[in-house]
Amino acid sequence: MKNEPSPVSMKVDATRLPAKGVTVKFEADERQRQALAALHGLEKVADFRFTAKVDPWKREGARVTGRVDADIIQLCVVTLEPLEQNVREEISAVFVPDSSRLARAEVEGGELMLDAEGEDAPETFAHGRIDVGALAEEFFELAIDPYPRADHAELPETAPQKDAETQAEAPFAKLGSLVRKS
């Protein structure tokens, strides 16, 4: 996670979770939406909200599940016109205290062993608190289309062709004629 706090930070005490867990609902205000837009290079964040359920996991950990919903405006990478996008992303993560043995990666022979198909390693939390808002922001960021494109936007099919005169002036054009002669 980032060093600076998330504009939608909402911390939950993971050390005192009831057996049924706790549900957290959040809707960003105008200032928070403006900060999200600036942080993520968006024209506007018109709406940002999330719902998350924080349940106890194993002895000291917590499992966070939920959903983040947002309406954003980005610029088309081809035409630069504003595009409205809807972000709908499921949230899922497991947290353990930073002091937990589960927080330490398993190392065999000095190498870190990861299973690409397996579950993600648990994230850690400190001081007994999980920032559910920062987690929702991470899933929001991952769901943003990095190259938004309007439906009608088209790139040229091919690059413009150089005419014969321009090709003859190319730096290695004379070398090409030498190779052909030998």
d(CA 119, CA 68): 21
pTM beyond 0.95, yes or no: no
**DSSP H helical ranges for the chain:** 30-39, 132-143, 164-168, 173-181
pLDDT at 1: 44
Residue 12 CB coordination number (10 Å): 23
With CA atoms as reference, report the closest residue to 11 among 68, 103, 22, 3.
Answer: 22
Q: If pLDDT is split at 50, 70 and 90, which confidence band does 54 have?
A: very high
Query: What's the mean pLDDT when you consider all of the chain?
Result: 83
For the segment 110-123, what is each residue's pLDDT rounded down to a tens digit? 555 555 666 677 88
Four-CA torsion 166, 171, 177, 180, nearest 10 degrees: -120
The domain locations on the chain are 11-181
Would the pLDDT of 60 be above 50? yes
User: What pLDDT score was predicted for residue 5?
Assistant: 87
Please count the helices (runs of H) and the strands (runs of E) in the chain: 4, 9
C-alpha 18: how far from its chain's center? 30
| Alpha-carbon dihedral 99, 116, 140, 41, rounded to 10 degrees | 100
93-111 in b/e form (b: 16+ CB < 10 A) is: bbbbbeebebbeeeeeeee
Which pair of structure tokens corresponds to residue 162? 């150089």
How many CA atoms lie less than 13 Å away from 100 in the CB half-sphere? Answer: 21
- Asked if residue 103 has pLDDT above 90, the reply is no
CB-side neighbour CA atoms (13 Å) of 123: 18
Q: Are strands 123-125 and 82-97 parallel, antiparallel or unpaired?
A: parallel
One-letter amino acid identity for 33? R
